[in-house]
Structure formats: C-alpha cells, structure tokens
Structure 1
Amino acid sequence: MNYQTISITLLILCLPQSEANDEAIRLGLKQVELSKDLNGWKPVTQSKQIRYGEWTTNAPIGQVGTGGGWGNWGTSVVWEDYKTVTSNEFERASLNNGENGLRIQSIEPFVPSNATKYYQEELGSFIISPRIDLSTTTQDSLFFQYKSNTKMNLEIWISKDQDSYWGIWEENPNRFRNHISATVAENDFTQIKINLHDLLIEMGQIFCDNERHDAVINPETNEVYIAFVAYDNAERRLGSDPKMIEIKSIWTSSYYSDGQLQPAPIDPVISFDHKCSSVTISGRVGETYELQTSSDLDDWKTSYSFTLETYFETYPISDFQNTTMRTMFFRLKHKP
C-alpha cells in the first residue's frame, strides 16, 4: 500500500482590530475622525521662561570655610541664562498599530551639561473640541484611549462658553469617580469612559452648594466644549529623551451644527430646583422672554427680560424673588 504525504499550508490573516467601540455606538456617540485632519479640534500652546545656569555652593552660613576663614558663604552665580519656550501642539498621528490618533511630545531639551541647575516650569498643551450638543439624549459620555508616562500628565476639562474651564478627569482621579471607569486596552493603552450627564449633575450640585450658580453646566445643554490638556514636566537637559502622550478612539456626543434649522416655536418652560436654590429656563435659542410674577394670579408684572443664548439657562432663585411678597407665582411669556 502506498502512502502519500499531503502537505497543507494554512494562511492565517491578521485582520486589523476595529476601532469601533460597541458601547459607544450603543450610546449614540460619534467617533472623532482623525484620518485627514483634526476634525474641528483646535490646538493651543503655552509659553514660559526657564532659568538655568551654573551655581557654586561655598561653606554654609555659620560654618568655617575652607582654610579656616569665615568668608565666601552661601551660593554664587558663575553664569546664568533664560530661555522662553513654547509647548508643542497636539498633532494628528498614525500610531504604531495603524490607528489614527493624537500625539503630543515634550519640548526639545536645551539645558547644557555645564549647567548645575535649572528651574523647571510646567508647560500646558491643549486641544479643544468643536461645540458639542448634549441636548438630544441623557446618555452623553466621553470615551477615549490614552498612553502616557510619569513626566507628562493628561487631564480633561469642560466649558460651557470657552471662557471658564473646569477639570473633570485626571490620571488617578479623586473626584467624580462614580461617573468614571478605566479599563486596560491593547498595546499598553488605557480606555476611559466618562458619564458626562451624571457627572455634570454632581458638579452642578457642588457649584450650588458653594453659591456658584453661574458656573453650573446644564447636562442637557446644546453647547459644551471638551479640552484634552497635557502637562509637560519632562527633563530639560540636552541628551534627555523626549516624552509623549498618545490618544486614540475618541467618542463624543454629536457636534452642534450652526447651520441646522431651529425647531418649530418652543413654549418656554420654567422649573425650580429648591434643593439647589436655582431656576432653569428653557425655550428657543435667540428668543426674548419676560419672566412675570404675581401674588394672586390676576395681576402680573414683568420682573426680568432676557434673550436665551442656549436652550437651557440656570440662575439662582434669588435673582427673581421679591422678599416683600409672602407668596409668588411665576410664568414665562414671549416678549411682545
């Protein structure tokens, strides 16, 4: 009987892992598309002056100097110099696994070897999102994956007006931990999920408790901005290796489209949060309303007139209260 050996070669294809995040898709989030440009995100840098030079230390004060004398105490300057440095920008990058993402590097080292000391200055680099709309769902979240090191730290800030920003996440967070989860991803990346809706509710309560009603960000607003912030504390001496942070797979709620049609006329609504001592007014953006008050539901007087800049605006109740009236009724009307 003849035996025939058949050699079978198996070709195994390694398919690239999908960037899609199933949970982010289920929540209706949008992935930031970084294949061609920064997708509307804007980098911002920071400049500072760093002092460096050579100092010599003589005998400390109160001790006998070399040769038994009492002179030449303390530290003296041999030479010194100053350099104004600017943090690097976040840049779009193709990461090692072929995915598109963001990369930020520390500045080039510049302190020469004959300098005995330099005064470290932390440099911040920022990249700010386009206007993001949180008004269409109560499942608003932020997902991203990052890889950093001990000399460069990453934070997340949020703003409702691109003027005042508030930190909502940092590495090893000690705030808002009930709304943040971290999981290990491939290639030494860590995935972060932030429940923005619930986090903004908790943050708003903190602001109210500290009488900062003006800082409250409504969790259903149609205007927020998210910023990734990298702090560069890398070694500045020549010959040191630059450090970097890489970020990928960023998922956010949808961007707000300035060209979208406004919905049909919206009846204004006023709601009170007595625990937070605040009042939230909602209506149509750009519409002017009057807040009217009455003590008997018959005689109404206009106490406040304003134009909404967002669908929801929150104010302290004290702005509308009349302390001379024991009972007050409120209503919102379109300004004639």
Structure 2
Amino acid sequence: MIIFQIRYAVVFLLAVSGIFGVFANDNAIQLGLRKVNLGTDLDGWTTVTQTKQIRYGEWQTSNGLGSVGAGGGWGNWGTSLVWEDYETVTSNEFERSSFFDGENGLVINSIDPFVPSNATRYYQQELGSFIVSPRIDLSIGNQDHLFFQYRSNPDLKMEVWVSKNNENYLGIWEENPNRYLSHITTTNLGGSFTQVRINLETLLVEMGQLLIDNNFDDKVISPNADEFYIVLVAYDNADRNLGASQQKLEIKSIWTPGYYGQPQSVDGSVEPKINFERLTDRVTVFGKIGETYELQTSFDLNQWRVSHSFTLRTISETYPLSYFKEGDEKSMFFRVKHKP
C-alpha cells in the first residue's frame, strides 16, 4: 500500500515501492503465466551443483631463450615449478533470499577463495550452479513467456537453458545475447535490476527450424509440448585468491507457463502503486487492467473515507492532482486499495 500527503500543494511520498514490478506482473498475468513462489520453498525447483579440481602453485620464470642470465651465461627458456597443489571445489547452490522491496527470490554466491598468497598462479575452472524447474506444460496457452529479473555480476555469468526431457539442454539466453534477439526484451529497472522477457512460443519455432536445418530433428522442442523444463544457470568465475571478496548474483520475480497438471496462473492480484509527477502536478495510478480500486483520504492517518472509485482500463491511468484535493485543506493523506 502507498500513502502520500498533500501539504501546501507539495506531495511527499511516505512509502514507495518500485513501480516497475507492476508492469512485469500485470503483463505476466495477462499472458496467463505462473509466478514462481519462493516464499517458503523452491516451488518444486531443484538445485544442481558442479565439482571440479583447481590446480594452483608457485612457478618461477626462467630467462628467455637466447637471453643472457644474471651470471653472464645463456638462460633456459620457460618456467620452473617450485610447488603445486590441488583443491577439489563444488559450486554453491541457489538459495532463497528476501529483497529490499519485500519480494522473495534467489541468490547464488561464489565459492570461498582458497588460493594462498604465496601462489603465483592458479588455473581457473568455471563452476556452474543450476536450478531446474518442475515439468512445465506449454500445451495450455498460446502466449508462453518467461519473465525474470536479475542483478548482474561480472564474476557470475547467467544463462537460461530449456529441455524437453530434463536430460538434454539447449541454451536460449545469456547476458549480452547474440541470438534469438527478436524474441527477447530487456528492461533496466531500479536497484540495478534488469528484467528479461522471453517469448518462448516464437523462440522455440525459430530454434526448431535451425535444428532441422542442421539435421538435429530429434532435439526440436515443440511450442505445444506438455513436457518442458527451464534451467537458470550461474557460472562462477570469481577470484579464487585468499582475501578476495565473495561475489553474488540475485534473481527475483520469475514467471513461467503453468506447471504440468496445475492451473496456468495462480496469482491474479497486483498491488496498486502511485507515482506523483511533481513538475506537472499529476498523479499516476498503476494496477491491474479491469481491477477496481478505491482512493481513500484522511487528515490524521486514523480515519479514512473513500474519495473516488475507478476501474483501470490500462495498466496505468493519470489524473490531475486537483482531482483528489478536497476544498482548501492544506494537509491531507491519500492511499489506494483494492475495492472490497
């Protein structure tokens, strides 16, 4: 809920959450998508880790071929090993996390650094962390999409894979993508988050044709398949040296087509938001199309009364500030709520 106050024709926002989430939620609901519920468990999603061995040690560089050494003699080309060791490491699992806006999501952390300061080199190994969706049914709707928001980190690269049997996977998105661009929309949001919207319906058609053209007919995923899986992937390339900071990648607001055997959409509510445009003295209300809201007023934050009731015809509607003011009152509080 958002409350704002008018005092001497100036509006002060007392509690504001990001309005950008409304666009994602409303569009996702209109498309019949299902919001992944990460409040109490992983909503049927399963985590997978990867284990690798990383070599590290101390190497000394010898004189280059044909160069004169410190004692005046000809040096030997290459490097010599002083000592080395190996560390078997496992990527971290995706974990639930709560964000500043009250929404639940996922976080993945890089592994703890372990290479000692006297090591001159280590051989980096990219570690993958994976979280796999339950079985998704694409046969229910005809506008199947995937929405998610993430805060990027250069040391943790993110990708999205899909599968028709939970065994063989095909990549459909990565940061700074260079394929399937006509099916993917990205939007910069507040708090350094980026929203990714992927049209699975049209992307699978294009990908299927590419696979057929290259004689991989058996890998084609039908856009109407009733068995389909989404995999969110994070590749850990963080610094392994002791003393380096642990890095993290954050993901939230994940919307997918419905799970197999379950209703397509399970979240039909969108909390209304208010945005005040100070320069033009206009108020914009954001909410769900077709939903009826009440604008309530108060002089003391205790007693509230309904001032206006309206049904949104679009995801946002803008009104002049004077539409909500009452008489010559110089101080008044407003809030917008779902109509009972």
TM-score after normalising by structure 1: 0.72
Corresponding position of 2:319:
none
CA distance in 2, matches of 1:11, 1:71: 74
Q: Does 1:217 align with 2:218?
A: no
Corresponding position of 2:15:
14
Q: Does 1:91 align with 2:95?
A: yes
RMSD over aligned CA atoms reads 2.0
> Aligned letter for 1:109?
P
What pairs with 1:137-216 in structure 2 (closer than 5 Å)?
137-216=141-220
How far does the alpha carbon of each residue in 1:93-115 deviate from its partner, in whole angstroms, 9 at most, with x for none? 11233220000011011111111
CA distance in 2, matches of 1:59, 1:11: 70
Give the structure with higher Rg (CA): 1
Structure 2 contact 149–253 (Cα < 8 Å) conserved: yes
Corresponding position of 1:308:
none
> Aligned letter for 2:14?
L
Gaps of 5+ in 2: 1-6, 264-340
Q: Does 1:63 align with 2:67?
A: yes
> Aligned letter for 2:147?
F
How far does the alpha carbon of each residue in 1:124-179 deviate from its partner, in whole angstroms, 9 at most, with x for none? 00000000010011100000000111111100000000111000000111110000
The secondary structure found in structure 2 opposite 1:66 is coil
Corresponding position of 1:226:
230
- Report the more deviating stretch, 121-130 or 92-101: 92-101
> Aligned letter for 1:155?
E
Corresponding position of 2:105:
101
Structure 1 contact 59–66 (Cα < 8 Å) conserved: no
What is the CA distance between 1:33 and its match in structure 2? 0.5
CA distance in 2, matches of 1:186, 1:79: 48
Structure 2 contact 106–250 (Cα < 8 Å) conserved: yes
1:77 aligned residue (77, 81, 102): 81
Structure 2 contact 64–75 (Cα < 8 Å) conserved: no
How far does the alpha carbon of each residue in 1:69-119 deviate from its partner, in whole angstroms, 9 at most, with x for none? 235542111111000000000001112332200000110111111111111
CA distance in 2, matches of 1:57, 1:12: 63
Structure 1 contact 93–102 (Cα < 8 Å) conserved: yes
The secondary structure found in structure 2 opposite 1:113 is coil
Corresponding position of 2:39:
35
The secondary structure found in structure 2 opposite 1:235 is coil
Structure 1 contact 52–119 (Cα < 8 Å) conserved: yes
Which of the pair has the greater relative contact order for Cα pairs under 8 Å at 6+ separation? 2
CA distance in 1, matches of 2:95, 2:171: 22
> Aligned letter for 1:191?
Q
What pairs with 1:313-324 in structure 2 (closer than 5 Å)?
none
> Aligned letter for 1:32?
V
Q: Does 1:125 align with 2:126?
A: no
Residues 55 and 138 (structure 1), Cα distance of their counterparts in 2 relative to 1, 3 Å cut: same
CA distance in 2, matches of 1:12, 1:73: 69
CA distance in 1, matches of 2:15, 2:87: 49
What is the CA distance between 1:196 and its match in structure 2? 0.1
TM-score after normalising by structure 2: 0.71
2:51 aligned residue (41, 47, 52): 47
How far does the alpha carbon of each residue in 1:183-242 deviate from its partner, in whole angstroms, 9 at most, with x for none? 011211000000000000000000111111101100011110000000111000011111
The secondary structure found in structure 1 opposite 2:192 is coil
> Aligned letter for 1:208?
I
- Report the more deviating stretch, 10-19 or 166-175: 10-19
The secondary structure found in structure 1 opposite 2:251 is strand
The secondary structure found in structure 1 opposite 2:191 is coil
How far does the alpha carbon of each residue in 1:298-323 deviate from its partner, in whole angstroms, 9 at most, with x for none? xxxxxxxxxxxxxxxxxxxxxxxxxx
> Aligned letter for 1:50?
I
What is the CA distance between 1:17 and its match in structure 2? 4.5
Structure 2 contact 65–76 (Cα < 8 Å) conserved: no
